[in-house]
Structure 1
Amino acid sequence: MVLATRVIPCLDVDAGRVVKGVNFENLRDAGDPVELAARYDAQGADELTFLDVTASSGNRETTYDVVRRTAESVFIPLTVGGGVRTPQDVDRLLRAGADKVGVNTAAIDRPELISDVAQRFGSQVLVLSLDVRREADRPSGFGVTTHGGRRSAGLDAVEWAIQAAALGAGELLLNSMDRDGTKDGFDLELIETMRREVRIPIIASGGAGIAEHFAPAVAAGADAVLAASVFHFGELTVGDVKADLRRHGITVRD
């Protein structure tokens, strides 16, 4: 059985609004998250990803409220990330309506968080969000970053993904910080490099600009493709992306 490739709009949420920039800078307002989520549900999105881009304690309750309202209005899986530091944070998000939860910086600081969450809630709940930049001195040529790509974590991206999968991460959100918001296309070398070594599903993120950018990411090894600004500002619909994937013989859900 061939699994369908998933198309996932990403909502970067700051203080209850969707924002988008280039390389996580010069953020501009892209709309109300609940309205956008409903639009993407109607367009045939397979999942939605919410990333709380500021993730401060002051924004926490706003995020829970947005997740609750969105979960009530759409019927596709929601992944929520940003500021998740403890199993209790995961529990609260699941109770608010999230289906999966993304972890990033807290897992780098404390890798046992991955196994704690996987053992308590199941691996299928846990998405490792990985912000990657090219770093020539890393064995794979790719390094892990934090703080919106501005700070190196001192880790090789492939080695960290392998470790996280072994600890219980169920899926990998692979975000190219070099390509984020550029609309130059996905980093195919990054996807291929990761796919050779990592068995869990890979969501490719960072760089989508036109419908024709998505099929090469799948060919490189992605199980799902994620984009933000091209959807938010009406340059593409989910249907446009799925139509082009079908043209390339890639199975997608209707």
Structure 2
Amino acid sequence: MPHSRLIARLDIKAPNLIKGVHLEGLRKLGDPNEFARRYYQSGVDELLYMDIVASLYERNNLTEVIQYTAQNIFIPFTVGGGVRSVEDVAAILRAGADKVAMNTAAVRRPALISEAARRFGSQCVVLSIEAKQRGQGAGWEAYTDNGREHTGLDVIDWAKQAATLGAGEILLTSVDQEGTRKGMDTDLIAAVSEAVSIPVIASGGVGDPEHVGQALQLGADAVAVADALHYDRFSVHALHKAMRAAGSSVRHIPDPGELPEVCR
């Protein structure tokens, strides 16, 4: 039985956790540290922090968040946004992150993937792909800057190239589905998962626990969830239950209702 991961995704702008639809129309939700601590205590497997304006300022601004997480939250976490060089990767890992996600800089200079993988190991390198449908049956194009900037890259070809260059994981975000709660882009997940042998993290569109299970059945190794957790639409326990129902092995975190009265 494959082991799958539930990842809480936290998109951050300045000091605030935010959430939007199609990576736009952002709404402030509060202190990301408070949300991260709650998700950790609820039993998520990993955290994913994305500085969504870092590419505009060409630097990652999450040092304080990274340090807080490293000191207080004891599950793996990935940080992305504004990564331009191997030195930027080193700084994020040195601050306490386990993995670093890159998008814009890797598109501009794919060799960055190999350089980071050689220095820190592929397990530390995550390629973030923001995918949009090109049209019915025409595949998907990779975007940067929160789905605003065209790259001209075919998502499947780019995923294969990144795996060859040494990326250890792919964070696959459907811009079309992101924030809609209408379900994930199942065709996209299936196509990328089939094309590469490295783990794929599916993101965008979860509106029901069954959507998480579907992504895993289509080949994803993990699912990153934002809206469903931020707004308490589903518990971590309910999402893990759906993952097990889909045939995946996950950590069992007791639901508060399962605990004896003395443990509550």
**Normalising by structure 2, what TM-score?**
0.91
Partner of 1:98: 97
The whole-number CA distance in structure 2 between the counterparts of 1:62 and 1:150 is 21
Cα distance in 2 for residues equivalent to 1:132 and 1:57: 19
How far apart are residue 54 of structure 1 and its match? 0.6
What is the one-letter code of the residue matched to 1:43? S
Distance 1:173 1:110 in 2: 18
**Alignment-mate amino acid for residue 101 of structure 1:** V
Report the alpha carbon displacement of residue 57 of structure 1 after superposing the two structures with TM. 7.5
Aligned with 2:195 (options 194, 197, 200): 197
Q: What secondary structure sits across from 2:87 in the alignment?
A: helix
Q: Deviations over 1:115-155 (max 9, x none)?
A: 000000000000000000111499x6111111211222001
Q: CA deviation at 1:61?
A: 6.8
Inter-partner Cα distance in structure 2 for 1:169 and 1:61:
20
Task: Give the conservation status (yes or no) of the 8 Å contact 1:16–1:62.
Answer: no
Alignment of 1:72-111 (within 5 A): 72-111=71-110
Are the counterparts in 1 of residues 217 and 246 from structure 2 also a CA contact under 8 Å?
no
Q: State the 1:62 CA deviation.
A: 4.0
Secondary structure at the aligned position of 1:194 is classed as helix
2:128 corresponds to 1:129: yes
Gaps of 5+ in 1: none
The count of aligned residue pairs is 252
Between the aligned partners of 1:229 and 1:20, the Cα distance in structure 2 is 7
Q: Aligned residue for 1:9?
A: 8
How well do the aligned residues superpose, as a CA RMSD in angstroms?
1.7
Q: Do the aligned partners of residues 58 and 112 (structure 1) sit closer, same or farther apart at CA in structure 2, a change above 3 Å counting? A: closer
Gaps of 5+ in 2: 253-264
- Give 3-state SS (helix, strand or coil) of 1:213's partner: helix
Higher mean C-alpha displacement, 93-102 vs 53-62:
53-62
Normalising to structure 1: TM-score of the pair? 0.95
Match of 2:65 in 1: 66
User: In 2, Cα distance between the equivalents of 1:8 and 1:30?
Assistant: 18
Q: Secondary structure at the match of 2:180?
A: coil
Equivalent pair of 2:113/2:162 in contact (CA under 8 Å): yes
Report how far residue 3 of structure 1 moved.
Answer: 3.5
Identity among equivalent pairs (%): 47
The Cα of 1:166 is off from its aligned counterpart by 0.4
Moved more, 225-234 or 46-55: 225-234
Rg larger for: 2
Q: Is the 8 A contact 2:244 2:250 kept in 1?
A: yes
CA displacement, residues 89-123 of structure 1 (integer Å, 9 cap, x when unaligned): 11110111100000001000000000000000000
Select the residue among 155, 160, 163 that pairs with 1:162: 160
Q: Which amino acid aligns with 1:55?
A: A
Larger mean Cα displacement after TM superposition, 203-212 or 146-155: 146-155
Secondary structure at 1:40's aligned position in 2? helix
State the AA in 2 paired with 1:27: L
- CA–CA distance in structure 2, aligned partners of residues 57 and 221 of structure 1: 33
- CA drift of 1:250 comes to 2.2
**Distance apart, 1:211 and its partner CA:** 1.1
Q: Displacement of 1:60 after TM fit?
A: 4.7
- The structural deviation recorded for 1:206 is 0.5
Q: Is 1:141 matched with 2:139? A: yes
**Are residues 1:253 and 2:251 paired?**
yes
Helix, strand or coil at the partner of 1:152: strand
- Is the CA contact (8 Å cut-off) linking 1:79 and 1:99 kept in structure 2? yes
Report if the CA contact (8 A) 1:112-1:167 is conserved: yes
Q: Which residue is 2:54 aligned to?
A: 55
1:116 aligned residue = 115
Give, in angstroms, the shift of residue 249 of structure 1. Answer: 3.0
Indicate the residue corresponding to 1:234 in structure 2.
Answer: 232
2:18 aligned counterpart, secondary structure: strand
Task: Pick from 214, 217, 220 the counterpart of residue 215 of structure 2.
Answer: 217
Q: Once the two structures are superposed, what CA deviation does each residue of 1:59-107 show, in whole Å capped at 9, x if it has no partner?
A: 9574111110121110000100011110111111011110000000100
